Amino acid sequence: MVVKTLSSPFGGLVRTRTMIALRLLGSSFPRELSRVLVTPVSAVSRALAGLERDALVAGRLVGRTRVCTLNPAYFAKHQLDAYLSRLADADHELREQTDRLRRRPRRAGKPL
Amino acid sequence: MRLTAKSTLADIALTVGARLQRHGITAVLTGGACVSVYTDGSYVSKDADYVLQGTIRQSDLDTALAALGFARRGDRYVHAVVPFYLEFPPGPLAIGTDIDIQPVEVTVAGGSALLLSPTDSCRDRLAAFYHWQDRQSLSLAVAIARHQAIDLAVIREWSRDEGSGAGYEEFLRELRRDRRANPPERRSRRAGPRKTTASREDTVVGRQHRRRIGLPPHRRR
């Protein structure tokens, strides 16, 4: 059993860290979130489904990928953004993970 | 009212709303079904979304909807015959950051139902356009404005609060284009210029449709 070192005000640690990750990344998809959170895709997908039901997160299909963001039409969006930013300040591990993520474009065909 | 496979989404949505009211459950119809009501069925959604007000027990909701033939399946209610399903997204009743929403009450066979006003339904679609660049929602907002009187001043102010002044300008451009393509009935000179104030909420274009959905008749000026 993992000792809880962070609070989980959004109902569970995966849910809370998914929210923080989406705040930091702007938008993401289950597999990317799974890498960032070092959590199985199934757990991230479950968390996202619950957060969507609560209208905190909104997802849409882009091709075959479900891209998720914090719900921009959520009635307390500004307050939620501020709160998540503060929570992100406290989660150094997650900040490090997101800082390592390359998201800028790479021209097609360019060697890695 | 008996729901059949031929019932329209608007009829179903309002009948369900009235039934919930009769069971003491306050539910406000929002989303695409609202658009369907206000555009005389020119837009058909697959579901009817209600935002519940207050604390409602799941068993009470099940009982009220079972009386109309709806059964719970997962997080939605389905009907054996009716091709539309019902959903209850979490509250509060809000359009973007605005939570001061006053629903309108319409009379239908078997009671009355609550739904977003035409202006709020228009804002609801515009929220999707502003936040998701969803152009279908923009065209639906225009369609509502074509069929119903809306309060442009309220929409302008709210759009500014949402940080979508440019989106509102685009809505106005689409509205003007739509009015050129579908000119409204010719008005007498004595009637004066058109006003876009809250009082115009009561002056719906389709008189028969107004009567069907239980809104008061058109007031002559």
| Domains in chain B: boundaries | 9-115, 118-206
Q: Do B90 and A60 touch (CB under 8 A)?
A: no
Q: What is this model's ipTM?
A: 0.74
Strand bridging mode A65-70 / A57-62: antiparallel
Q: Which CATH number is associated with domain A13-94?
A: 1.10.10.10
DSSP B156-213: HHHHHHTT-HHHHHHHHHHHHHHHHHSPPPP--GGG-S---SGGGGG--S-HHHHHHT
| Contact indicator for A66, A34 with CB cutoff of 8 Å | no
Task: Kindly state the tokens that stand for B19.
Answer: 């039934």
Q: Do A75 and B128 touch (CB under 8 A)?
A: no
Name the closest residue on chain A to residue B97, using Cα atoms. A75
Q: Who among A53, A73, A78 is closest to B127 (CB)?
A: A73
Taking alpha carbons only, the member of A59, A56, A86 closest to residue A74 is A56
CA distance A79 to B97: 10
Query: Taking the complete model, does pTM exceed 0.90, yes or no?
Result: no
- Which has the higher per-residue pLDDT, B102 or B188? B102
CA distance B135 to B221: 35
Q: How confident is the model at residue B205 (pLDDT cuts 50, 70, 90)?
A: very low
Above 70 in pLDDT, residue B213? no
Taking alpha carbons only, the member of A77, A86, A41, A42 closest to residue A58 is A77
Q: Do A73 and B128 touch (CB under 8 A)?
A: yes
Ranges of residues in chain A with a pLDDT under 50 are none
Residues 6+ apart with CB under 8 A from B75: A53, B87, B88
pLDDT > 90 fraction of chain B, expressed in percent and rounded: 66
- pLDDT one-digit tens code per residue, B127-158: 999 999 999 999 999 999 999 999 999 999 99
Above 80 in pLDDT, residue B13? yes
CATH level 3 topology of B9-115: Beta Polymerase; domain 2 (3.30.460)
Name the closest residue on chain A to residue B132, using Cα atoms. A72
Cα dihedral value B177, B183, B184, B188, nearest 10: 120
- pLDDT one-digit tens code per residue, B49-92: 999 998 999 999 999 999 999 999 988 999 999 989 999 999 89
Give the per-residue pLDDT at B189. Answer: 52
Give the per-residue pLDDT at B208. Answer: 52
Peptide bond into A105 cis (omega under 30): no
Q: Minimal Cα–Cα distance from A54 to chain B, Å?
A: 6
Q: How confident is the model at residue B201 (pLDDT cuts 50, 70, 90)?
A: very low
What phi, psi does B82 have (nearest 5°)? -70, 130
Domain regions of chain A by residue span:
13-94
Lowest pLDDT segment from A79-83, B9-13, B116-120, B125-129? B9-13
